[in-house]
Amino acid sequence: MALIQQLGVRLAPAPAPGQRRPPAFLAAAVRPQSRRTASRGAEAAVAPRTATDVVRGFYDGVNRRDLAAVEPLIAEGCVYEDLVFPQPFVGRDEILNFFAGFMGSISPDLRFVIDDISGEDSRAVGVTWHLEWKGKPFPFSRGCSFYRLQVEEQQKQLQIVYGRDCVEPAAKPGELALIIIRAVTWILERFPRLATML
pLDDT value at residue 79 = 98
Averages of pLDDT over runs of 10 residues in the chain (198 residues) are 35 41 35 34 49 96 95 96 95 96 91 94 95 93 96 88 93 88 90 84
The answer as to whether 69 is a domain residue is: yes
Domain containing 198 equals 172-198
The verdict on 82 and 57 lying in the same domain is yes
60, part of any domain: yes
pLDDT for 136: 95
> What CATH number did the domain enclosing 72 receive?
3.10.450.50
In a domain, 27, yes or no: no
Q: Residue 51 in contact with residue 147, Cβ under 8 Å?
A: yes
This prediction has a pTM of: 0.69
133 within 8 A of 107, measured Cβ to Cβ:
yes
Residues 75 and 159 in one domain: yes
Q: 152 with 176, same domain?
A: no
Residue 19 lies in a domain: no
Residue 3 lies in a domain: no
Mark whether 83 and 106 lie in a shared domain. yes
From residue 53, alpha-carbon distances to 27, 58, 76, 108 in Å are 11, 9, 19, 23
d(CA 120, CA 129): 18
Q: Check whether residue 135 and residue 86 sit in a common domain.
A: yes
- The structural domain count of the chain equals 2
